[in-house]
Amino acid sequence: MNDNTDTSLLREVLASLPAARFSFAYGSGAIPQNGVISRNRMLDFVVAVDGAEQWHRENMYVRGNNYHYSNLMRFFGPHAVASVQQSALGARVYYNTLVPWKNGRLFKYGVITFSDLMEDLKEWQTLYVSGRMHKPIKIIKADKDIETANERNIENAACAALLTLPERFDETKFYERVASLSYLGDPRLSVRAEDPNKVCKIVSSNREAFRRLYAPALRRLKTVVYWDSSGSGATQDMQTDAREALLKRLPSKFVHKMRAVLAEEELQHMTRSRRLLRSTTVMKRLVARAVAAKGNEYCQKALTGALCQTVRQSSTAQMLKGVLTAGVVRSTKYALSKLQKGAVFAKV
């Protein structure tokens, strides 16, 4: 499927839904892997909306898309759907999956409020949608505020990747590392419901797209990472001050998760004041300094631990929520298709 046809199909599908403020497609059904876009893969996309209940109400009763929802959620209606979407369970995303389209094509779409998406992009609250945007996506409807927030999201991903890479690395390793951040701790990998080589395939098939996506962020980080004249290899500053500077660039709420590896007395000693530990700004600065001071190995461990915790919690809860939102039959079909795909890759 060529790019123009694919974009046209995505726009056609989205036109059947209520208006969204921002939308994008992702996955192998929209983004090339191994040079092609699979015509047989399900189309995956996300829509960001201003009001969850109003959007679902229009989708169910005005657009006639109530068949997208499970029997249980159809019974309880749009208020319950919006409540499930925005509950603390999962990533504040409501997915309708295995929705039939023309010529037997299937699609899956996630609905998230604009404010929740902005928070995830800025603070890495769940890394569920923001993590998908660390990789090349196909934007169907753009939004300037989202574009600006995602620029910071991409820079944060670059910082996190650098903190987990050695002093010398090549371009491929860098892109593979940023692409892998949102898979750390993902339960689908532990049960082999995903291709273990997925990250490598995404990068090898979309190298130019990764270059365009990360070039601005790498230019802003030129004081801590130095690329050779060919642009294929890099050296980064591994000194404590450079590590601390990268940590301080990460979202405050995310950096706070690394606090778990530090003793309370350690942070209090650095400030000599328990009251100052209540300050978000002060806490971020102290955690960054303390983690960086413990060395690169400790820094990598703390960062990876925070990433795994964030991804595992949101992904596991989102999987459980899927049973409610998609229903037992659709959830079982979707899970089996994932497990079958994982089994195929395990044999390769």
Domain assignment present for residue 88? The answer is yes
CB 203 within 8 A of CB 179: yes
In a domain, 135, yes or no: yes
Contact predicate 324/69, CB 8 Å: no
Distance separating alpha carbons of residues 318 and 281, to the nearest angstrom: 30
Position with higher pLDDT, 324 vs 121: 121
- Strands (E) across 134-203 are located at 138-141, 168-170
Q: Mean of the pLDDT values across residues 262-279? A: 53
At residue 335, the pLDDT reads 55
* 171 found inside a domain: yes
| Residues forming beta bridges with residue 139, ordered by sequence position | 24
Residue 223 lies in a domain: no
- Predicted local confidence at residue 126, as pLDDT: 95
181 belongs to a structural domain: yes
Report yes or no: 100 and 106 within 8 Å, Cβ to Cβ: yes
Higher pLDDT, 344 or 303: 303
> How high does pLDDT run on average in the chain?
86
pLDDT at 164 over 90: yes
Per-residue confidence band for 64, with pLDDT thresholds at 50, 70 and 90: very high
What's the pLDDT band for 187 if we cut at 50, 70, 90? confident
**Looking at residue 345, what is its pLDDT?**
46
**Residue 175 counted as domain residue:** yes
Range(s) of the domain holding residue 165 = 3-217+308-347
Measuring CA to CA, which residue among 138, 95, 99, 107 is closest to residue 40?
107
Q: Nearest CA to 68 among 87, 38, 94?
A: 94
Q: How many CB atoms lie within 10 A of CB 248?
A: 16
Going by C-beta distance under 8 Å and a sequence separation of 6 or more, which residues neighbour residue 192?
339, 342, 343, 345, 346
343 domain-assigned: yes
Question: Which neighbouring-strand residues pair with 26?
Answer: 44
Closest CA to 171 of 206, 130, 131: 206
Asked, for residue 182, whether it belongs to a domain, the answer is yes
Q: Is the pLDDT of residue 62 over 70?
A: yes
CA atoms within 13 A on the CB side of 225: 29
Confidence of residue 344 (pLDDT cuts 50, 70, 90): very low
Rounded to an integer, what distance in angstroms lies between the CA atom of residue 251 and that of residue 153?
Answer: 9
Give the model's confidence band at 39: pLDDT under 50 very low, under 70 low, under 90 confident, else very high: low
Q: Which residue has the tokens 């989102």?
A: 318
pTM, rounded to two decimals: 0.88
% residues pLDDT > 70 (the chain): 82
Residue type, position 151, single letter: E
Per-residue pLDDT band for 348 (boundaries 50, 70, 90) equals very low
CA-based nearest residue to 9, from 36, 39, 35:
39
126/34: higher pLDDT: 126
Choice among 31-35, 65-69, 183-187 with the minimum mean pLDDT: 31-35
Q: What is the mean pLDDT of residues 302-331?
A: 84
Query: Higher pLDDT residue, 282 or 56?
Result: 56
Task: Tell me how many domains the chain contains.
Answer: 1
What is the model's pLDDT at position 35? 54
